Amino acid sequence: MVSTNEFELKIGIIGGTGLNNVNFLQDSHEIEIDTIFGAPSDKLLCGKINNVECVLLSRHDKNHLTGPSNVNYRANLLALKKAGCQILLVTTACGSLNENYKPGDLAILDDFIDRTYKREQSFFDGSKVEFAKICHIPMYPAFNNEMRQVIIDECKKMAIGFHEKSTMVTIEGPRFSSRAESKMFQQWGGHTINMTTCPEVVLAKELGMPYASIGIVTDYDCWRDNVDDTEHVDVASVLKTFKETLHKVTNLVYEVVPRLAQIDWQPILDKHSKMVENNYFRLILIIFAWMYIDEPKIFLVLFIFQISLDFFDGYFAKKLNQISAFGAWIDVVLDNMSRGILWVHVWRFGYIISVIEWLSFSFTQKNGARWKETFDRAPFLVKKLFQNNFRNPLGITAISAGLQGLPIWLYFVLNYGSSASGIYFYLIRSILAYCVIGRIICLCVELWVIFKNLEILLDEDSKST
């Protein structure tokens, strides 16, 4: 997505030794910014890379006197935000938990495991009125995919040894891991290990700032067997490898920055800033609706309003090309949650329907983006339902009337239907019958999905044994 507007990008760069050289940026000058969370680690170095505005911050200060647990991560990120930065490109030294991730390689982070425990994890902790609300921030994807792809492309062009994906384990520090810990992190699926990614990546997400991180592999931590003790991680080996690799990182940053400036960031930034707010508001409405579930008029207004928010949000997300995998995921979670509340209220066995919905959702998520491939050899009813992305008579009956409409209509009937007579009685029952038919169709598909995936799981188990 190439930029076509006059949006001027300013990139925040967070790094360590080597990137804090005043000559790293053109036309550089220092500024001091204070924040409501205190002072950042150091002065901000403002300048340009290939005519792109950048602001550089040394994470541990220029003299490297601030340990990872004592870095004021909130002040650092808020200072960069106040300096006008919209996106964050960071570097971090890390150890390897995988034989293929060799010292000197670069790792483009795509996920993390947080093992820190002494750090302030959120701006929204209730300590400042500017961040007064509760914020349940989505962390998938944790790192911005547009930025990651640019870094990956440039690594390929420059023939740099790198890895397209890396799950970073962030430990508290300042000590390195024990051998048992290192092996445990391997079993958890970690590829690399450091002391600074968390909570930095989380705080960036809370500020709506797309964030990408380049991991500089400096050592093999201490998990390897049958090697000399000198090959395990220590400060000297880390600094030696980091110094030898630094020129690759600086050259990479010089190439990546102008590429990032070619992206149209405005819709991406809009999506980031709204990511929490829309779903947060829906969650609040669901909670309030539950509180007033014995007050039909209030409940129906709140419940139907949150459903309409979901519809309009999805519609405009598609129109504006602001669709995110997590956005779709959280929408389904909120839908299942709200329907589950209704089902339990309107029918003593309603929890069974809710369990089926959650199981079906769980199995589709297990297959990731390939979940629809499960339906290649599906029965006619299943294929027909999914035809044209549910936009067909069967799909509308099953999804709109059955899945979404039936619990709402049952609630309406229980509260208002008993007094209906004449034509209204038959109208209410006719709509109820239509919704029931839709739910039966939906139930057939859900059960097929569940049993089909159970069959796949059992087949995988038999092959593994």
Answer whether the bond into residue 199 is a cis peptide, omega within 30°. yes
List residues forming the annotated binding site. Answer: 17, 59-60, 92-93, 195-196, 219-221
- Residue 321 structure tokens: 């090309």
Q: Which of 105, 110, 219, 313 is catalytic?
A: 219
The distance between the two most distant Cα atoms of the chain, rounded to a whole number of Å, is 89
> Token pair of 371, please?
């979940």
DSSP 8-state code for residue 38: B
Closest by CA to 113, choosing from 217, 193, 59, is 193
| Residues of the binding site for phosphate | 17, 59-60, 92-93, 196
Active site residue 219: yes
Burial bucket for residue 452 (CB in 10 Å: 0-12, 13-18, 19+)? middle
**3-state secondary structure at position 113:** strand
**Is 42 tagged catalytic?**
no
Among 188, 185, 189, 215, which residue's Cα sits nearest to residue 200? 215
Structure tokens belonging to residue 111: 């996920």
Residue 212, SS3?
A: strand
Binding residues for substrate: 195, 219-221
Q: Exposed, middle or buried, 376 (CB in 10 Å: 0-12/13-18/19+)? A: exposed
Considering 42, 110, 114, 221, which one is annotated as catalytic?
221
Q: Active-site residue numbers? A: 219, 221
